Structure 1
Amino acid sequence: MDNETRQFGRQPERPRRPRQYFPDPSEQQQYSPQPEWEEPVYHQEPEPRDSSNTAAVALGVIAALATAAAVLFMFLWRGAAEDANRPPVTETVTSTQMATTTVTTTTTSRPPLPTAFPTAPTLPSELPTELPPDVRDDVEGFLESLLGDGQ
């Protein structure tokens, strides 16, 4: 009574579940593994050859492209021939214009261009090995301010 569920009133009839049949062990068939495994024999048949040929396909594609190009050029040629056979269009246009132009000339005098150009300075034959004192002092002062008093 501990784990029972009680329902009040008339209980509907439960459908009967099929019963599982367990045969008598003496009636059971005895299964035994196959005594030997026979390796299946496969007959080797020649593989069907692929009948597609790459060269034939390529030639077919080239022939199709050449035919399409020939048709295209035929239509272009016919159109150009029709344009060439047309008489030229002549159109006569007469236009008359009158114009009055005033021309003003301004003359400016410029100094004449020099005919002789100055010559380039020549380098001395011997270059100095030391800097002049005023340049040397400027360079030393710059280096001292840049590097911080020779430290």
Structure 2
Amino acid sequence: MNPRNPGNPDDETRYIGPTSGGSGSSGDQGRPRQYFPGEHDPNFRYDPAYDSAHEQPYEEPYAPSSAAPAPAKKSGGALPMLLGILFGLTLLAAIAFFFLWRGAAAEADREPPAPVTVTSTVERTVTTTEEAPALPTQIPTEIPSDIVPSDLPEIDIEGWLNELTGGAPEPAP
């Protein structure tokens, strides 16, 4: 609700969709437009006391007109700062070398350690390799008679396989 004009419901800020044509430039045609209360209302009353209560009086900033700006003081520059940093780093290095020197001097004053004798046993395994006999160039097709003992019974391997498989194989068509 608008406190200035509570009876008019059209006096509220509201969204109006994109407008076509109008007084805007060609880039404003599809853009939304905001509606301000009282913009097209002939009964709208503007109260100037409302705006004047929030205004602050304008004061000119102080600027001396006759005095020229005072020259800025220059600091010592970068050279003293650089020398101070180098002095600090040198001091830190001197302290580090002092402690390293003290540690080395204390270690040099100690007696050398007694000699230590270490005995170890090593087992060694020696493997000898013999030359393998030459392989035969021809493979025999029958078992030699001097290798096979003569008292072995003769076995019918084909018949034994037929019994295991359930009969003689059928001839191929």
TM (normalized to structure 1)? 0.38
